[in-house]
Amino acid sequence: MKLKLCLAAALSCVVGLACAQSMPKEINIAYVKAPFNLQNMVMKDQKLLEKAFEKHGTTVKWHTITSGAKQAQAMAAGSLDFSAVMNTASLLSTNGAGNPVLIANGVAHPADTFAIVGKPGANFSVKDLKGKKVAGPRGTVLHQLLIAALIKEGMSVDDVEFLSMDQPAALSAMLSGNVDASLQAASGVIKAQEAGCKVISTAKGLVNVNLVMTVREAFATKYPQAVEEVVKVQRETLKWINEHRREAIALGAKEHGITFKDAQQLADWSNYYDVLSAEDIQGLREDQEFLIENKLMPKNVDVEKLVLPIAKH
């Protein structure tokens, strides 16, 4: 009898140890509130990930990294496990450079919130940008938008003087008159318009804008249960947002420092979602062709392998 009890206790310890090892001690995740990522803002504000992982003894650490390229660099270094929001241009580029980052969940299709904006007082068309200075984040969906808009008008990126900088810096440079136009998203567009700027073009009809939650491959391989838990929380958050839309939008308005009316417009334009469709995956293929052709991605990758099974169901 004692032997059986000892064996049972030993088995219990082994099982307990295995369970403990199935979850990491720490999860590092990027906080990205732009363009208007309600899931991310609600998750962080209500500490939903912290509550979900408390029972596992896992600490959740948020890092404000807005650039997809910088998120990818942090993932390559192992200091970031998840990006709550990454655009697919950055995702593809980093995988093409040999840094395996995978899609765990969908977030939004906010084509209306991405735009090329002209400096105050100007009324530029895309053709008017020839020879002018345009600032924005390189290697992102905004950069992709600029190139697509120029190509549509029979031009190329070489027809403008492109200066790489993040959105806040690009907005400041434009408002101070140091550049002629900038690449902005969501509240950045609203703030530019309030300062007298006009939208030259949005991404609608030019770029298949898809924002996704990503995870570094090494983490996903080692801690699949943790990935499932994070995805579950994100999907439950979207459900809560749909059921408490006004409350969620008010939270987003406060976080972005804009009016409820503007926040509501951004939410309406965001087209939030979670499960990737066949159309989303085809969009990745088309994006890859565009990025390769315009030298924003060094080599092709197998797009299908970038999408975790959980992201598709």
* Total tally of structural domains belonging to the chain: 2
Examine the domain organization and report whether 105 and 32 are in the same domain.
yes
Predicted TM-score (pTM) of this structure: 0.82
Domain carrying residue 151: 112-202
CATH of the domain at 56: 3.40.190.10
Examine the domain organization and report whether 85 and 128 are in the same domain.
no
Q: Where are the beta strands (DSSP E) in 52-203?
A: 59-64, 82-87, 101-108, 114-118, 133-136, 161-164, 181-185, 198-202
Residue 6 domain flag: no
Phi, psi of 294 (to 5 degrees): -100, 20
Examine the domain organization and report whether 240 and 94 are in the same domain.
yes
Examine the domain organization and report whether 249 and 155 are in the same domain.
no
Examine the domain organization and report whether 127 and 247 are in the same domain.
no
Residue 158 domain flag: yes
Say which residue the tokens 């459900």 belong to: 239
Per-residue pLDDT reduced to its tens digit, 67-125: 888 898 999 999 999 999 998 988 999 999 999 999 999 999 998 889 999 999 999 99
pLDDT attached to residue 86: 93
Tell which of 179, 202, 225 closes a domain. Answer: 202
SS3 87: strand
pLDDT attached to residue 14: 41
Query: If you average pLDDT over residues 195-223, what whole number do you get?
Result: 95
Tell which of 167, 202, 237 closes a domain. Answer: 202
Per-residue pLDDT reduced to its tens digit, 285-311: 989 998 898 888 889 999 999 999 999
CB 211 within 8 A of CB 34: no
Examine the domain organization and report whether 186 and 50 are in the same domain.
no
Per-residue pLDDT reduced to its tens digit, 132-176: 999 999 878 899 899 999 999 999 999 999 999 999 999 999 999
Q: What is the DSSP letter of 25?
A: S
Tell which of 149, 182, 202 closes a domain. Answer: 202
Farthest CA pair distance, the chain: 88
Percent of the chain, pLDDT > 90? 79
